Structure formats: C-alpha cells, structure tokens
Amino acid sequence: MEVMDPVPMFVGDEDGLRRHGVGAGLTPLEQREGNSENMTTSMVLRAGLPDQLMQQLDEKPNDGIGDSDWPWQSAAHHGFHPVFDAGVERLMLVVDSDETKQLSPLELWEKSTPRYVKEHYSSNAGVENMLSCIRHSRQ
C-alpha cells in the first residue's frame, strides 16, 4: 500500500549499539540506564541518539560545511556512524467478506486504524536534513 524511505540509524563506537534518529518514543539509552530492570528488549533496540548530539544537530554550525554534510559529520564527530534499513513496504491482506467487497483495498487502507505517516519526519533540523538527503538520493 505504501513504500517509505530508509531511516537514518547509527552505530556507536563505544557500545556498538544501533541508535535511531527518527521514530516515536525514542529516548537516549543513557536516560534509560538507571531503569535497566524495567527496560524491554524493544526499548533497548529502539534507543535514540544522546541528548548532546541531538541538541547539536538541531543547530546548524556556521563553519562552512555543506548543507547536506553537516549533520552526518556531527554524528561522526560524536562517534556515531550511519546505517540504514531498506525502507518500509506496508502491505495489507484483504480477507474477503461482505464489508470488504464494498471498498477497494486503497479505501480500506485509508480508513484503517491506526493511521501511519506517509513519510518520516523530525522536528530536529539536523535529522530532518538527513531525511531530506535520503529522499533526494532515491529520486
């Protein structure tokens, strides 16, 4: 029903863990460590980037680095190297019933709950810049 772009994720030099730059409910692993006995595997696997890096990514430096390069270089400076998934392909299996015969698969998808975004986004300027780079590379 939809195909979404890959999302930027990062592997840290120090811990080798994958950190996410985009997604709902991301919290830096460092903020969760005091609560490690209450952390699910999914919480560890969906850890966000450290606060200090996210703050730096939200402010573009005035040091002459190209517009598309600065967030990637900032992440690398903090010891985080980008890795990417293959994107998301959302599929829907329509089981035949009287109700589903009245709507097309696209109409069923549009009326489904929960609703998902059609593309990834971030309020963080640097992360949004990374997402923009990914979008442009796929065109």
Can you tell me the distance from the alpha carbon of 49 to that of 26, in angstroms, rounded to the nearest whole number? 8
Q: Which residues pair with residue 90 across a beta bridge?
A: 2
Is pTM beyond 0.85? Reply is: no
Which residue type sits at 19?
R
- Contact by Cβ (8 Å): 119, 135: yes
Q: Give Cα separations from 4 to 7, 69, 71, 91, 105 (angstroms).
A: 9, 22, 21, 12, 18
- For residue 113, what are the CA distances in angstroms to 2, 6, 9, 25, 110? 15, 23, 27, 19, 9
- Confidence tier at 112 by pLDDT (50, 70, 90): confident
Give the tens place of pLDDT for each residue, 29-38. Answer: 777 666 666 7
State percent of the chain over pLDDT 70. Answer: 81
pLDDT digits (tens, 9 = 90+) for 58-104: 987 666 556 778 899 999 999 999 998 888 787 877 777 666 567 78
Quick one: what percent of the chain has pLDDT higher than 90? 25
Amino acid, res. 58: D
* pLDDT at residue number 34: 63
